[in-house]
């Protein structure tokens, strides 16, 4: 009834008040979601940012604002520098390796005529299994004396390698485990991307004279996988940046900080040394890298891989 | 371009089964050079499978395909010199119209090294080959009125424009045969009629032997030199549109072609001729007495008359120049449809009892197995 009355009255004042009422209703309806967004996502991040400008330690009765002090300390902290370098190496090795291998595996499985679901499940196992538990298996496999890996190497006449205990090899081992861990994820995503490519395009490519598998890959598969690849690259990069559980379970950053990574350094500062402010600064650096990655994705690559 | 571009196609004894389902049961087909042949049939009759076998995208279990006298059965699709237009166009979404049109030429004329960006400039003669390709793309684009769209991507085109790009991509390298798989089925009705004409016109100009798969009898009848009617994996009849319409070899062909559908009535042969219930029909055929037959009468073979088959009008459809009269025959119980000139039918109303006289010279007789039986109208009774 009120609505009809409002419609009947052509006076501009009524119309204006109606518009205000509508806006108010919209705000009220958005409020719960907005509040949740603030309380659960934005506030913690803001709190982190604020804490990174303080010297707060867990349990300390008071804190002092030290401005960029934590960040200045980061630039001279050798452990942080190793952690940052190791993390970037880890991303630089594990991401391309697991994407390259994953694409290859996905092409092989998708190209085969049977057992697709079986292969998919097998490759996905490391993703669904608990990494900390699987780390125990890796610890055994890579054990310097009783580990099967070294025994096989011994059969080939190669002297045993201290995979997790030597500072020369520990990052290599972590990267291998990282590829093993991410491969299944990448395979499943690429397989989904491959099934979405219309079969007719391959038929058209064949008739257009794309004789070799490489020709068809270049003409159809790779360009049409563009959106999938972009997604896989982003997700894998972030997953690699977040490397933590293998380090925690297998090496604890050692030996001699040789396997320090960003999140482990953050964890140690925050939860072992209780330097919350400093730990927050490391987290902010981590978040900044993630944001940068996402920016690159949406601003630059996104335009080049979507065709509609 | 003229007729010599096309090659003859000879298809013999093609068999194909998927698992236990036999899709094609020994199909034979021959196309003359430059001929336009439609492969028509209801969905699932195997026509698309046959087309894919001709293209080399699917392998036949038995039989052979010859193009221009050369056996290509064992050749892969890329080596058959065939171009295909797909139902969903199958354009490369990441390439512009010009690039899409160029793909068949690029793939065939440029080495794989020449197709790598930057490296291509190192290959001698590349610029020349590239400009020859561009010229041909330009020519095809102009032929199909795509000149102003060359830089767009398929997603930015309308359905009709995409269709023309697909045609252009098939046309651009002047293959020895075109295969078209329901190319108009994704277009709206108006566009479809226009594109139909355009394809016929293109075929006339390019003279390339064309096999056109469709489930739409109007497309088949209006576009083709000859029509091949397929059903349940078999080729039932091959002939000019007029032949298959006026002289169907099988009841299923008669039923599939023609809209509205042909009228069918159960009849039987008696020693003194053909009978419809108690009615003695002025038809003669050489069949054993007592055989169960089917009489087919096209709607245009029925006329309003003072006497003949007594029917009651159930429904009248006004089509502008003519009226479709749907009526019920009392004995035997059957429905009949007649196509009448508007002048004749103006006074008719639903429920009216009228008489329909058949043009017996156009009547078709089919045996119990659906095969056509030769018949003739007996002179004496033509007026019955």
For residue range A206-250, what is the model confidence (pLDDT) as tens digits? 999 988 889 999 999 999 998 899 889 988 999 999 988 888 888
Mutate to test the interface with B, among A202, A204, A222, A306 (most CBs of B within 10 A): A204
Residue from B305, B294, B291, B371 nearest B344 by CA: B305
The DSSP string of A225-282 is THHHHHHHHHHHHHHHHT--HHIIIIITT-STTTT--HHHHHHIIIIIS--HHHHHHH
Q: Decide if B82 and A207 are in contact by the 8 Å CB cutoff.
A: yes
* Contact indicator for A124, A187 with CB cutoff of 8 Å: yes
Q: Which helix (H) or strand (E) holds B338?
A: strand B334-341
Q: What's the CA gap between B63 and B55, in Å, rounded?
A: 14
Write out pLDDT tens, residues B254-294: 999 988 999 999 998 888 788 888 888 888 888 888 888 99
- What is the token pair recorded at A222? 């790779």
ipTM computed for the complex: 0.83
Distant-in-sequence, close-in-space partners of A202: CB < 8 Å, separation ≥ 6: A216, A220
**Window 88-107 of B, Cβ < 8 Å to A:** 88, 90-95, 103-104, 107
Residue A5: band (very low, low, confident or very high) from pLDDT cuts 50, 70, 90: very low
What pLDDT is recorded for position A1? 43
- Torsion of the alpha carbons at A124, A128, A131 and A137, rounded to the nearest 10: -60
Q: What is the pLDDT of residues A12-29, one digit of tens each?
A: 667 788 888 899 999 999
For residue B379, what pLDDT is reported? 59
Show the low-confidence residues of chain B (pLDDT under 70). 1-5, 379-384
**Whether B330 contacts B312, CB under 8 Å:** yes
Give residue B5's pLDDT. Answer: 58
Q: What is the mean pLDDT of chain A?
A: 86
Whether B57 sits inside 8 A of A206 (CB atoms) is yes
- Provide CATH code, domain B260-381: 2.40.50.140
The reply to whether residue A203 touches residue B55, judged by beta carbons under 8 angstroms, is yes
The predicted pLDDT at position A96 comes to 95
What is the per-residue pLDDT across A150-190, written as a single tens digit (0 to 9) for each?
888 888 888 878 888 888 888 988 999 899 889 988 998 99
Q: What are phi and psi of B61, to 5 degrees?
A: -75, -35
**Taking CB atoms and an 8 Å limit, are A307 and B155 in contact across chains?**
yes
Chain B: closest CA distance from residue A290 (Å)? 29
Residue A275: closest CA among A68, A57, A50? A57
Q: Report the SS3 class of residue B170.
A: helix
Reported as a single tens digit per residue, the pLDDT across B349-360 is 898 899 999 999
**C-alpha torsion angle, residues B279, B285, B288, B292 (rounded to 10):** -50
- Check: CB of residue B62 under 8 Å from CB of residue B13: yes
Domain boundaries, chain B: 3-249, 260-381
Burial classification of residue B237, based on how many CB atoms lie within 10 Å of its CB (0-12 exposed, 13-18 middle, 19 or more buried): buried
User: Closest approach of chain A CAs to the CA of B190, in angstroms?
Assistant: 26
| A223 touching B (Cβ < 8 Å) | yes
Nearest to B77 among A206, A212, A224 (CB): A206
- Residue B151 contacts A, CB cutoff 8 Å: no
CA-atom Rg of chain B in angstroms: 26
In chain B, residues with a C-beta closer than 8 Å to the C-beta of A215 are: 107, 112
A–B interface: beta-carbon pairs under 8 A: 74
Is A196 near chain B, with CB under 8 Å? no
Residue A31's pLDDT is 93
pLDDT digits (tens, 9 = 90+) for B166-205: 999 998 888 889 999 999 988 888 888 888 998 999 899 8
The fold for domain B3-249 equals Rossmann fold (3.40.50)
Q: Please state which of the ranges A2-11, A52-61, A131-140, B108-117 shows the lowest mean pLDDT.
A: A2-11
CA A9 to chain centroid: 57
How far does the CA of residue B94 sit from the closest CA of chain A (Å)? 6
Nearest-by-Cβ selection for B107 from A210, A226, A308: A210
């Amino acid at each position: 009834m009120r609505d009809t009355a409002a419609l009947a009255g052509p006076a501009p004042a009524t119309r204006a008040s109606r518009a205000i009422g509508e806006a108010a209703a919209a705000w009220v309806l958005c409020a719960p979601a907005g509040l949740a967004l603030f309380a659960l996502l934005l506030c913690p991040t803001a709190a982190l940012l604020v804490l990174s400008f303080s010297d707060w330690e867990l349990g300390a009765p008071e804190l002092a604002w030290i401005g960029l002090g934590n960040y200045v300390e980061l630039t001279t902290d050798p452990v942080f520098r190793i952690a940052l370098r190791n993390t970037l190496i880890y991303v630089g090795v594990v991401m391309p390796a697991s994407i390259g291998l994953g694409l290859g595996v996905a092409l092989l499985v998708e190209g085969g005529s049977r057992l697709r679901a079986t292969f998919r499940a097998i490759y996905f196992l490391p993703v669904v299994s608990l990494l900390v538990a699987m780390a125990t298996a890796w610890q055994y496999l890579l054990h310097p004396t009783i580990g099967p890996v070294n025994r096989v190497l011994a059969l080939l006449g190669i002297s045993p390698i201290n995979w997790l205990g030597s500072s020369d090899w520990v990052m290599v081992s972590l990267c291998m485990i990282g590829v093993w861990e991410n491969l299944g994820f990448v395979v499943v995503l690429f397989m989904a991307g491959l099934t979405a490519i219309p079969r007719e395009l391959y038929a058209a490519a064949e008739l257009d004279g794309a004789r070799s598998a490489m020709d068809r890959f270049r003409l159809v598969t790779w360009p049409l996988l563009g959106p999938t690849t972009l997604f896989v690259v982003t997700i894998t990069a972030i997953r690699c940046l977040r490397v933590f559980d293998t380090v925690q379970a297998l090496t604890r950053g050692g030996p001699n900080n040789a396997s320090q990574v960003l999140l482990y350094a953050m964890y140690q500062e925050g939860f072992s040394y209780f330097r919350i402010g400093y730990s927050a600064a490391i987290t902010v650096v981590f978040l900044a890298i993630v944001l940068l990655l996402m920016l690159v994705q949406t601003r630059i690559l996104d335009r080049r891989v979507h065709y509609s | 371009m003229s007729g010599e571009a096309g090659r003859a196609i000879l298809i013999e004894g093609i068999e194909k089964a998927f698992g236990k389902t036999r899709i094609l049961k020994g199909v034979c087909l021959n196309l003359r050079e430059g001929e336009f042949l439609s492969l028509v049939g209801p969905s699932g009759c195997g026509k698309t499978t046959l087309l894919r076998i001709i293209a080399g995208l699917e392998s036949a279990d038995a039989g052979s395909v010859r193009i221009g006298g050369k056996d290509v059965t064992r050749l892969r699709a890329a080596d058959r010199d065939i171009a295909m237009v797909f139902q969903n166009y199958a354009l490369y979404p990441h390439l512009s119209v010009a690039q899409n049109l160029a793909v068949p030429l690029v793939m065939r004329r440029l080495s794989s090294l020449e197709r790598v960006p930057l490296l291509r400039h190192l290959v001698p003669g590349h610029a020349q080959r590239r400009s020859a390709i561009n010229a041909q793309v330009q020519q095809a684009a102009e032929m199909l009125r795509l000149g102003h769209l060359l830089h767009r991507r398929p997603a930015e085109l309308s359905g009709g424009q995409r269709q023309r790009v697909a045609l252009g991509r098939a046309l651009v390298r002047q293959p020895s045969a075109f295969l078209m798989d329901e190319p108009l089925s994704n277009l709206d009705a108006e566009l479809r009629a226009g594109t139909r004409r355009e394809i016929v016109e293109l075929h006339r100009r390019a003279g390339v032997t064309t096999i056109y798969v469709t489930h739409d009898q109007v497309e088949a009848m209006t576009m083709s030199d000859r029509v091949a009617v397929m059903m349940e994996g078999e080729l039932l009849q091959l002939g000019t549109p007029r032949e298959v319409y006026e002289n169907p070899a099988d009841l299923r062909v008669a039923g599939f072609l023609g809209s509205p559908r042909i009228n069918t009535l159960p009849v039987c042969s008696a020693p003194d001729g053909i009978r419809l219930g108690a009615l003695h029909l002025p038809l003669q055929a050489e069949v054993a007495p007592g055989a169960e037959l089917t009489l087919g009468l096209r709607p245009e073979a029925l006329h309003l008359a003072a006497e003949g088959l007594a029917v009651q009008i159930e429904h009248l459809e006004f089509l502008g120049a003519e009226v479709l009269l749907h009526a019920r025959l009392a004995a035997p119980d059957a429905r009949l449809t007649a196509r009448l000139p508007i002048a004749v039918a103006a006074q008719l109303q639903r429920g009216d009892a009228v008489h329909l006289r058949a043009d017996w010279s156009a009547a078709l007789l089919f045996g119990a197995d659906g095969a056509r039986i030769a018949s003739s109208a007996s002179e004496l009774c033509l007026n019955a």
